[in-house]
């Protein structure tokens, strides 16, 4: 049943800009819609926080803060955040819309994938996570649902830094079971999350891609969590016999229960994944998982559902950016099913006659050798040289009978310095014997020094940072007797520190010399203004007036308060008094003391007792300072005389 029609947001325009066209998915934190940005006329994804979470001020604040941070994370494999805002009770993110499917959809339809396809998905995911880890972000909720595969084959990771804490996982829904399946032991036991929890989750995802199932099963989240803490992830070859040892080792390393044994971040795991790929032959990479074998290779009983996958309209994985040195993103995936071989009739005899036999003999004796030489003998394949040093790569090429061509260098955030980023032609490509292969060697990440910005005006400092290949980060302000207001005091990290290109640099900006704010409450407006202006402050008078203990027209409140500090030229807002609020005094004459005090205090007065000598032991009110039925300023004192 299409529940989109019942969704109250569909058809509405949020913030006067985003027209909500259809609901895409519902998660534990938010609902995702396909929407149209009417201002820019582009389709995007609108993630709207659930109302129950939107009522949590601290969660909304973190949601917004992290969304702004992730918006600065520009990477071709990260779903981009365009905008964030609120419209009434709706808190939303406007994000890049990826038309296609999720990795969960692929696994649900296809089951286990070929090793090549699994690595073709894993490597761009690790590239995205690696960029995030080096920028200081941890995903914390890596799972197939957050891996998007576009119709054009591009792989993107969604939902960076926008997840709730582990202790909110309490329900037993399929969604929760899916989430706990990827939690690292330290997330479960201690609630800690550093880049290694994403490494662990990627190891589980790789296991699932290779086997078609999660490593730890259970009918409740508690069971799955217990297994993550106390049981190792089994080798995928145990579920799919014949998988290479290198893939077992890659899964084992990524999912080590002790965090210190795992690669320290996704960049390190990406390097290991590339080494594992380079160690595998084409046959090993393209080995069909069990469910993709022809029917005669499977023992399928009458009452068992067929494991032969039906044809899917799933995308082929394409390069993310042909100009980028990301070798894993330039390979074609093997997600599509090969056509089944034509059936052969049992007992069919060969119809080849004597001429066919003669032709076969001729091929064997000589003619075939010529054909083989023409078609294959002049060619070879480019050996696996990715992630190798230049010396190792050159040796590999020489063993294959190939020459080293040109050698170029390029910066890379994900490939170790001094090792091969790409080759031309790419590894596995068909190439003539004695041809040359060009290499691109990594110079490691591009790094720049933080410029000395002390004394720069804020706008000039931002320009300097961008010119140096860095980004302006968080702005903090503090008083300074040395640096004028609006100029930079220092940076974090400090000037001269080396940072990766594109890193955010925090700026500490001067508020100028501190000024003591005089207390002007209770003064007439003109006197208060004169006192504040003499102190070097500006004055703003609030339009609204309030009742107070002060006379009408006098200053009732000021912001900032008196006896605090402000910067020279800051504005102090004054709120004037409407005079005290007049309240009718209750008549308490003849009442007991307790009843009288309760009645007067409930009306907003303070009470003073006058017992005299004769009223020391009395309990009845003889008279009151303000007669009952008259009015008096709220908060003033009413004296009761006791007899």
- Beta bridge partners of residue 309, listed in sequence order: none
- Beta bridge partners of residue 505, listed in sequence order: 472
Coil, strand, or helix at residue 608? Answer: strand
Other residues' Cβ atoms within 10 Å of the Cβ of residue 469:
15
Which tokens in the block code for residue 210?
């290779």
Non-local (6+) Cβ contacts of 333 within 8 A are 116, 117, 120, 121, 153, 316, 317
Rounded distance, CA 81 to CA 70, Å? Answer: 7
Non-local (6+) Cβ contacts of 239 within 8 A are 211, 212, 213
Set 141, 159, 265, 591: catalytic member: 141
Phi, psi of 574 (to 5 degrees): -110, 135
Cβ 255 vs Cβ 364: under 8 Å:
no
Classify burial at 173, counting beta carbons within 10 Å of its beta carbon; exposed 0-12, middle 13-18, buried 19 or more. Answer: exposed
- Pairing assessment for the beta strands 430-432 and 379-381 based on DSSP bridges: antiparallel
Cβ 491 vs Cβ 507: under 8 Å:
yes
Which tokens in the block code for residue 467?
């010119």
Non-local (6+) Cβ contacts of 368 within 8 A are 362
- What DSSP designation does 547 have? -
Cβ 133 vs Cβ 413: under 8 Å:
no
Non-local (6+) Cβ contacts of 25 within 8 A are 31, 32
In the annotation, is 232 catalytic? no
Task: Give 402-448 as a DSSP string.
Answer: -EEEEEEEE--SSS-TTBEEEEESPTT-EEETT-EEEEEEE--S-EE
Rounded distance, CA 85 to CA 80, Å? Answer: 15
Place of tokens 């399946």: 181
How would you classify residue 212: left for phi > 0, otherwise alpha for psi between -120 and 50, otherwise beta? left
Q: Which of 296, 295, 315, 297 is nearest to 306 (CA)?
A: 295
Element (H, E) at 388: none
Give catalytic residue positions: 141
């Amino acid at each position: 049943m299409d529940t989109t029609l019942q969704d109250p947001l569909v058809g509405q325009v949020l913030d006067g800009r985003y027209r909500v066209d259809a609901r895409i998915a519902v998660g534990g934190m938010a609902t995702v819609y396909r929407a149209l940005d009417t201002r820019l006329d582009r389709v995007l994804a609108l993630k709207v926080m659930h109302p129950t979470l939107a009522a949590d001020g601290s969660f909304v604040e973190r949601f917004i803060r992290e969304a702004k941070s992730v918006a600065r994370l520009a990477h071709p494999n990260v779903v981009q955040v365009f905008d964030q805002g609120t419209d009434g009770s709706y808190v939303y993110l406007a994000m890049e819309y990826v038309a296609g499917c999720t990795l969960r959809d692929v696994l649900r339809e296809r089951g286990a994938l070929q090793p090549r396809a699994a690595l073709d998905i894993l490597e761009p995911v690790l590239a995205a996570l690696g960029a995030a880890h080096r920028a200081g972000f941890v995903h914390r909720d890596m799972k197939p649902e957050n891996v998007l595969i576009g119709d054009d084959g591009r792989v993107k990771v969604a939902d960076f830094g926008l997840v709730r804490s582990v202790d909110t996982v309490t329900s037993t829904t399929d969604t929760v079971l899916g989430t706990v399946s990827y939690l690292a032991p330290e997330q479960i036991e201690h609630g800690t999350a550093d880049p290694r929890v994403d490494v662990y989750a990627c190891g589980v995802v790789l296991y699932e891609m290779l086997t078609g199932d999660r490593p730890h099963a259970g009918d409740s989240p508690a069971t799955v969590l217990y297994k993550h803490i106390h049981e190792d992830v089994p080798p995928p070859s145990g579920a799919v016999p014949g998988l290479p040892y290198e893939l077992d080792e890659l899964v084992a390393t990524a999912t080590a229960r002790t965090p210190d044994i795992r690669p320290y971040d996704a960049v390190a795991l990406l390097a290991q994944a590339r080494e594992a790929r380079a160690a595998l032959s084409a046959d090993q990479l393209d080995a069909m998982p069990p469910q993709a074998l022809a029917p005669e290779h499977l023992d399928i009983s009458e009452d068992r559902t067929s494991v032969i996958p039906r044809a899917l309209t799933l995308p082929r994985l394409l390069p993310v950016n042909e100009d980028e040195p990301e070798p894993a993103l330039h390979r074609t995936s093997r997600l599509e099913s090969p056509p089944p071989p034509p059936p052969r009739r049992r007992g069919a005899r060969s119809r080849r006659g004597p001429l066919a036999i003669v032709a076969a003999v001729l091929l064997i004796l000589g003619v075939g050798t010529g054909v083989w030489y023409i078609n294959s003998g002049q060619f070879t394949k480019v050996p696996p040289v990715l992630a190798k040093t230049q010396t190792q790569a050159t040796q590999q090429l020489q063993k294959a009978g190939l020459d080293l061509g040109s050698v170029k260098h390029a910066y890379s955030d994900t490939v170790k310095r001094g090792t091969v980023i790409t080759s031309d032609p790419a590894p596995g490509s068909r190439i003539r014997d004695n041809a040359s292969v060009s290499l691109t060697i990594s110079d490691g990440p591009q790094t720049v020094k933080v410029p000395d910005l002390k004394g720069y005006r804020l706008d000039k400092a931002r320009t300097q940072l961008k010119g140096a290949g860095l980004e302006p980060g968080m702005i903090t302000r503090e008083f300074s007797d040395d640096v004028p207001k609006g100029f930079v005091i220092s940076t974090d990290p400090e000037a001269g520190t080396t940072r990766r290109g594109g890193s955010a640099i925090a700026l500490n900006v001067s508020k100028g010399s501190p000024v003591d704010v005089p207390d002007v409450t209770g003064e007439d407006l003109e006197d208060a203004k004169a006192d504040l202006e003499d102190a070097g402050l500006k004055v703003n008078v609030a339009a609204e007036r309030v009742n107070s203990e002060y006379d009408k027209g006098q200053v009732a409140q000021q912001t900032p308060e008196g006896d605090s500090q402000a910067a020279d030229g800051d504005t102090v807002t004054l709120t004037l008094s409407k005079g005290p609020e007049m309240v009718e005094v209750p008549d308490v004459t003849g009442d007991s003391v307790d009843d009288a005090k309760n009645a007067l205090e409930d009306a907003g007065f303070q009470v003073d007792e006058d017992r005299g000598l004769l009223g020391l032991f009395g309990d009845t009110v003889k008279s009151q300072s303000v007669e009952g039925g008259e009015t008096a300023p709220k908060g003033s004192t009413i004296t009761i005389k006791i007899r």
